[in-house]
Amino acid sequence: MLKRFSAYDLIVIAVMAAVGVAIKPVVASVAHVISAPLMIPGGSLAGGLYMMWIVLAFALTGKYGSATLAGLVQAIIVMLTGVPGSHGLMSLFSYVSPGLVVDLLMLALTLPRKRSFDRLASFFAGIAANVMGTLAVNVIFFRLPPLFLALTLSVSAVSGGVGGLIAWELFRVMRKYGLVKR
């Protein structure tokens, strides 16, 4: 599978994964100030800002599997370093599944019509990643009642959509200044 990716692609994926892990504790701490009184997990609110990096990994490489690899690298980083957000071995599930969902969604949105990555695809990829991440963490830890789960997923969808739009804008600016190979 890795033969499809150039060295440049793998470096981009690793950097996007590392940035996502690095900002997660800071963003999550700030989000907990807002989410704790509402009794919703902070990750669902802040998730869009760190899920955007796996969306950006796909955008920058344009290759299916990039988001999944970014999620895998994130899982390995948090398992080896023990940074906040580590779920032990379950990190493989909670970090890889959002990337897998992004890749599958991009495959469904871009391949049939030979569309390129665009703002709408990025928006939906952010939603899919954050909702999947929230569901994964709910399965592992929270097991929220249906009503609270629906509220949490709604918040994560909004946050994920915003993160997807930010990823699109970053991609657009990077492309404008010639920082993107494709």
Does residue 147 lie in a domain region?
A: yes
Residue 161 placed within a domain: yes
Low-confidence ranges of the chain (pLDDT < 70): 84-86, 112-115, 182
The owner of tokens 């890749």 is 103
The reported pLDDT for the residue numbered 119 is 92
- 181 found inside a domain: no
The answer to whether residue 56 is domain-embedded is yes
For residue 14, what pLDDT is reported?
97
Domain annotation covers residue 122: yes
Examine residue 76 and state whether it is found in any structural domain, yes or no.
yes
Whether 79 and 91 have beta carbons less than 8 Å apart is answered as yes
Per-residue pLDDT reduced to its tens digit, 30-81: 887 887 787 777 777 888 898 999 999 999 999 999 999 999 999 999 989 8
Domain membership of residue 182 (yes or no) is no
Range of the structural domain that residue 85 is part of: 2-176
In a domain, 160, yes or no: yes
What are the backbone dihedrals phi and psi of residue 87, each rounded to the nearest 5 degrees, phi first?
-115, 30
Q: Can you give the pLDDT at residue 182?
A: 66
CATH of the domain at 129: 1.10.1760
Based on the structure, what is the number of domains in the chain?
1
